[in-house]
């Protein structure tokens, strides 16, 4: 299978480059090889490489900065995926793309299903939703995997930040009114690779009968505050922590340029039943992720 992976330097892309390596001939690109704002170059490259599957882990993910960089966020999260989808359609290839819980407004009392209405509160969420719609409109075989609270210990994630804060501050104030599904980038990459393996040797045929939007995150939901508690508890180098108190704060206590949705738990049962997986619990994933923590994560 010939696979083009975009966004290889990101949290998810870094893991994907490793997990999809055994599946065939993989062309993995980051911004150094191809700037995705150059849409003509993107289209040209896809037509030159003729992949059977495009896996798009690239995105503009700076949620607050997106409020002032609207055009760039739209280019990377909507126009570039549209180019990928049109090229995939022309080549009879499939596109696997990642989206976000931020397409929702967070007002639901229960976990969001794929059929729930979208209503993004910020530019990032709107740009990701535009990307979803552009892919669907292009009509290629596709999977749009909406995920949430993605972390890796390599990236600048909530987990790595919490570990660093805990080494500097006696008291941490963490919001307790944001609830979501923490998703380990490794777990997301491994499940994506497993789905890709199921699609062999005819990925376009396999994905064309399963095309759609799916929710895919760590199983179970938690508040940011309880997520932070778990991070500190599972830290294998807890003796380095200075933090003695974790205090609950509300989102309103930390004004940010972008509004954040509060309750964005994702119901992932449609993905599980379609592809035959049982998604691991977020806390089990966190335990595994933390067991790889380097000796001194540092500030
Ligand atoms: N992080 C989260 O909490 C979260 C939550 C929900 C959904 N998601 C979605 O999950 C997917 C993966 O997220 P992630 O956390 O792995 O993102 P990430 O770490 O920010 O990685 C994004 C990737 O896109 C690349 N990129 C950015 N601008 C580019 C450009 N102009 N040209 C080429 N490449 C460019 C980045 O390159 P450099 O970094 O090297 O510049 C990086 O490789 C995305 O679709 C995201 O929207 C993420």
d(CA 82, CA 60): 15
d(CA 167, CA 292): 18
Ligand 1 shell residues, CB under 6 Å: 7, 9-13, 30-31, 35-37, 57-61, 76, 98, 100-101, 128, 147-150, 155
Mean pLDDT by runs of 10 across the 299 residues of the chain is 97 98 97 97 98 98 98 98 98 98 96 98 98 98 98 92 96 97 98 98 97 97 97 95 96 95 97 97 97 63
So what's the pLDDT on residue 206?
98
- For ligand 1, the distance from its centroid to the CA atom of residue 147, given in whole angstroms, is 12
Classify 55 as helix, strand or coil. Answer: strand
So what's the pLDDT on residue 292?
83
So what's the pLDDT on residue 294?
61
Overall pTM > 0.85: yes
Please spell the DSSP secondary structure of 63-84, one letter per residue. TTGGGT-HHHHHIIIIIHHHHH
| Structure tokens that stand for 218 in this block | 């760590």
So what's the pLDDT on residue 135?
98
């Amino acid at each position: 299978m010939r696979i083009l992976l975009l966004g290889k330097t990101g949290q998810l892309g870094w893991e994907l480059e490793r997990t999809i390596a055994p599946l065939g001939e993989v062309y993995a690109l980051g911004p150094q090889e191809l700037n995705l704002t150059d849409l003509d170059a993107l289209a040209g490259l896809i037509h030159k490489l003729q992949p059977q599957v495009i896996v798009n882990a690239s995105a503009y993910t700076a949620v607050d900065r997106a409020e002032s960089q609207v055009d760039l966020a739209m280019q990377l999260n909507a126009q570039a995926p549209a180019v990928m989808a049109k090229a995939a359609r022309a080549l009879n290839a499939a596109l696997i793309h990642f989206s976000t819980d931020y397409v929702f407004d967070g007002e639901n009392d229960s976990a969001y299903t794929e059929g729930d209405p979208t209503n993004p509160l910020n530019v990032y969420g709107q740009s990701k939703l535009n990307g979803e719609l552009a892919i669907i409109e292009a009509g290629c075989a596709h999977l749009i995997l909406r995920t949430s609270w993605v972390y890796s210990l390599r990236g600048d994630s909530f987990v790595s930040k919490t570990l660093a804060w805990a080494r500097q501050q006696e008291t941490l104030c963490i919001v307790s009114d944001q609830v979501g599904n923490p998703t380990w980038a490794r777990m997301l990459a491994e499940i994506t690779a497993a789905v890709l393996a199921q699609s062999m040797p005819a990925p376009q045929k396999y994905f064309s009968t399963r095309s759609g939007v799916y929710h895919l995150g760590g199983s179970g939901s938690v508040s940011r505050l309880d997520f932070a508690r778990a991070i500190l508890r599972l830290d294998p180098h807890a003796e380095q922590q200075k933090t003695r108190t974790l205090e609950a704060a509300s989102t309103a206590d930390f004004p940010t340029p972008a509004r954040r949705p509060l309750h964005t738990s994702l119901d992932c049962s449609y993905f599980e039943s379609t592809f035959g997986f049982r998604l691991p619990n977020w806390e089990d994933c966190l335990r595994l992720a933390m067991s790889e923590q380097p000796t001194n994560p540092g500030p």
